[in-house]
Structure 1
Amino acid sequence: MKHIKLASAVAIAMGITFAGVASAASSNGGTITFTGTVADTTCTVTGGSGTDGGQGNFSVALDNTQPSDLAAAGDTSEPKAFTVQIGAPGQGSCTDGKVASMSFLTSSPRIDAATGALKNALSGEATNVQIQLTDSNGAINLADPSYSQQSPEIANNTASIPFSAQYLAVGGAATPGLISTSVVYAVNYN
């Protein structure tokens, strides 16, 4: 009988202890946010010509430029052309006849609202210089939420959207150093 009472007492004590731990663990809550899209067209997005070719995330390496090319605010370097590749030949989920529309999220932390260009993320490096994107109509104001660039109609499960990037002097003459920046984009299909 003693063994049963002792075992019961231990089990009850452990239950109280575990209940206390469970209560303590559940007192620190939070929110999990899920987002997504249901779409009849899903195409991979990769860096095309002028990029490193990465899927989803990709890089464009601009050619070096001289500070003398960016001597005054508003001066720009030679543009570096690049394309964003939508889909790929044989990718059946990238529906022929649709049009891809690419936009840039104005909430991207590197967008300068005053210039519409991209600020340098590197401290202690090149100053008075930003990266400006262009399309066939000229400079893109990345701070403009209405901007979007359409691809040609998707054919053979693929399309390309052309852009260029260039250095832009802001606030005076650019100083030498490295520059690195980024922007978040979205692609929709119509």
Structure 2
Amino acid sequence: MKKLVVAGVATLGLGFGNAALATEGTITITGFVSDKTCTINQGSGNKTVPLSSIAMSSLPAGQTAGVTPFTLEFSGCSATKVRAHFEPGSNVDAATGDLKNTEAGGSNVQVSILNDAQQRIDLRNNSNSQQVEVTDGSATLLYHAAYRAPAGAAATAGSVKTTVEYSMDYE
């Protein structure tokens, strides 16, 4: 009798297990690995962008100031178009899409990355990023970095330092 009860419970358990494993849908993931590339010119791969010192009064709540241009330059491109894709890493603020100040005891500001038209790029999803045509195997991407005071608070005094990683998209 004991063996029959154990066998019955085991069979019953298998039946419930199947009900819990019913499929609800399918997720299809697609992509493309490109053979297109460019050579990142010397000084463009790892870059330091020094922002000018500004007065706290120049940066009221929610505003941007101290806009500083920088470029990423490429040569030997087999692609026809290039675009930098900023990676949404740990320095990207999930609420604002700007870069957090990682300097301990530094200012409360963040850093915005702007495109060539000085529109803010949301680093959470790369909206407003730009793509440029390759001409004679070369391309230059113009960006800007700028201080951004938090919404609802003026900038405080202190150092600013942050980083963002990027990868290249080629067409």
Which residue in 2 is equivalent to 1:44?
Answer: 39
Secondary structure, aligned partner of 1:175:
coil
Structure ID, larger Rg: 1
Give the Cα separation in 2 of the matches to 1:44 and 1:58.
15
1:133 equivalent among 108, 113, 130:
113
CA drift of 1:60 comes to 0.8
Give the Cα separation in 2 of the matches to 1:121 and 1:183.
11
Give the Cα separation in 1 of the matches to 2:144 and 2:44.
19
- Residues 117 and 132, structure 1, Cα contact 8 Å, conserved in 2: yes
- Residues 103 and 186, structure 1, Cα contact 8 Å, conserved in 2: yes
Give the alignment of 1:84-103 within 5 angstroms. Answer: 84-87=72-75, 91=76, 94-95=77-78, 98-103=80-85
Give the Cα separation in 1 of the matches to 2:170 and 2:141.
13
CA drift of 1:174 comes to 1.2
Give the Cα separation in 1 of the matches to 2:126 and 2:72.
20
Aligned length: 138
TM-aligned CA distance change 1:143 to 1:126, over 3 Å: same
Stretches of structure 2 lacking an aligned partner (at least 5 in a row): 1-31
Give the Cα separation in 2 of the matches to 1:148 and 1:86.
17
Secondary structure, aligned partner of 2:131:
strand
Percent identity, aligned pairs only, is 36
1:56 equivalent among 30, 42, 45:
45
TM-score (norm 1): 0.65
Give the Cα separation in 1 of the matches to 2:33 and 2:96.
35
Output one character per residue of 1:145-189: Cα deviation in whole Å (capped at 9) or x when no partner: 5664211x2122211111111100005111111100011111021
1:149 equivalent among 112, 130, 136:
130
Residue 42 of structure 1 aligns with an amino acid whose one-letter code is T
Answering whether residue 36 of structure 2 is matched by residue 70 of structure 1, we say no
Which residue in 2 is equivalent to 1:114?
Answer: 95
- Residues 117 and 130, structure 1, Cα contact 8 Å, conserved in 2: yes
TM-score (norm 2): 0.72
CA drift of 1:137 comes to 6.2
Residue 75 of structure 1 aligns with an amino acid whose one-letter code is Q
Stretches of structure 1 lacking an aligned partner (at least 5 in a row): 1-36, 47-52
